Amino acid sequence: MIGVAEAKRILGQLNLPRRKIKIPISQALGYFLAEPVFSKINVPSFDNSAMDGYAFFWQENLNSLRIKGEISAGSTMNLELKNGEAVRIFTGAPMPKGADSVIMQEKVERKGDEIFFDSSEVEKGKHVRYQGSQCRAGDRIAEEGSKITPGMVSLLASVGVEHVEVWEFPGISLIITGNEIKDLGEELNPGQIYNANGPALESWLRQLGIWQVNQIKVRDEKEAVIQGLKEAMESSDLVIFTGGISVGDYDFVKEAVEANQVQELFYKLKQRPGKPLYVGQKAGKLVFGLPGNPGSVLSCFMQYVKPLIRTWQGEPTAWEAYIKVPLADDFEKKIPLTQFLKAEMKEEKAYILQGQESFNLIAFGLADGFVEIPEEIEFVQAGEKVKFFPW
């Protein structure tokens, strides 16, 4: 067995076969940029008003102006002001020639074609958005590795960027093993259980932006598991097994990866839950063998599969996706293994929940992350900071 840190180091140093794709920004939400993005234009592309009010040329001790006309947003009117003249202007409208300032409409009193105001209310350059004040053509506006959020889409659209180069998401297959597994909606016979791992993992993957998942159920028969893995590797970049990775008479995942000539990266970790975790690689494709118990599946996915997928997608800090927070209560660990514990964040503290057994899913209804207690730590006092991995 190897330790948790060593397992993460091995996975973090893999040379993943990432692929760049060019997609419209309307379809890019959740992707990570594969190259920096540069502005195509000056933004704003013209001087414009930041307020509804009156545009004019600023002078000292000015307290009245004569109104020459009106400019609204989108107007192409070519007005030029002289000293002492103003134009009624609306937010986003282009500034007329000869104007350098705007006074808010609330600050003036209008009488016919003239406005009056206190000279202390006007300031040179006030309420004007100048050309290029956000960015200029050619400016770098987004770095490689940046996640595309709705805000990023807005920024890209504002500078005329229609398409972006991003890292393609990996294709993923889930292989659910177990003769006892039944799909939701089917009737359970004695000794059978519902498929909880498949829906849970698909939900995790959707959180990562991956909606197309190939889910395969195989019986606990050696040839069926071997063939299932062969077919999954032909169509996917990443294959995730649940169950069948231990050493029981009906556990055939280890034999299946060997039969498919998958090179083992590691097998079994000094952790609980999820000690019999397997990871292997063949021709750039990865195989994860997760234990069958749902608690083990979810903790192993969170700690190893999720950051690897995030790295594949282009996130540069995927392996540091934790925060350090105080533990709410004392915790004593009696086993020399790293422990991942279902926990809930409340009042900026991590509360370890009851029901930490691998089969027990009640705590998952409350938990919003895992607390890590390293293998060398036996006791953590309330108030000490621990790693918390939020979901």
- Look at 8-22, 55-69, 175-189, 198-212 and tell me which has the smallest mean pLDDT: 175-189
Which structural domain range is residue 141 located in? 20-41+136-167
Chosen domain end from 284, 300, 320: 320
Q: If pLDDT is split at 50, 70 and 90, which confidence band does 359 have?
A: confident
State whether 159 and 34 are in the same domain: yes
Amino acid at 205: L
For residues 227 and 260, is the Cβ–Cβ distance under 8 A? no
Q: What is the mean pLDDT of residues 185-205?
A: 90
State whether 178 and 104 are in the same domain: no
Residue 360 confidence (pLDDT): 82
State whether 174 and 281 are in the same domain: yes
3 state SS for 223-270: HHHHHHHHHHHHHCCEEEEECCCCCCCCCCHHHHHHHCCCEEEEECEC
pLDDT tens digits along 47-86:
999 999 999 999 999 999 999 999 999 887 788 999 999 9
CATH number at 145 reads 3.90.105.10
State whether 182 and 237 are in the same domain: yes
Interatomic CA distance for residues 272 and 289, integer angstroms: 15
Q: Is 107 helix (H, G, I), strand (E, B) or coil?
A: helix
- What the block records as the tokens of 306 is 């999720």
State whether 154 and 252 are in the same domain: no
State whether 216 and 355 are in the same domain: no
pLDDT tens digits along 110-143:
999 999 999 988 999 999 999 999 999 999 999 9
Residue 121 confidence (pLDDT): 87
Asked if pLDDT for residue 180 goes beyond 90, the answer is no
Residue 327 confidence (pLDDT): 97
State whether 25 and 98 are in the same domain: no
State whether 226 and 311 are in the same domain: yes
Chosen domain end from 320, 339, 373: 320
CATH number at 58 reads 2.170.190.11
State whether 55 and 181 are in the same domain: no
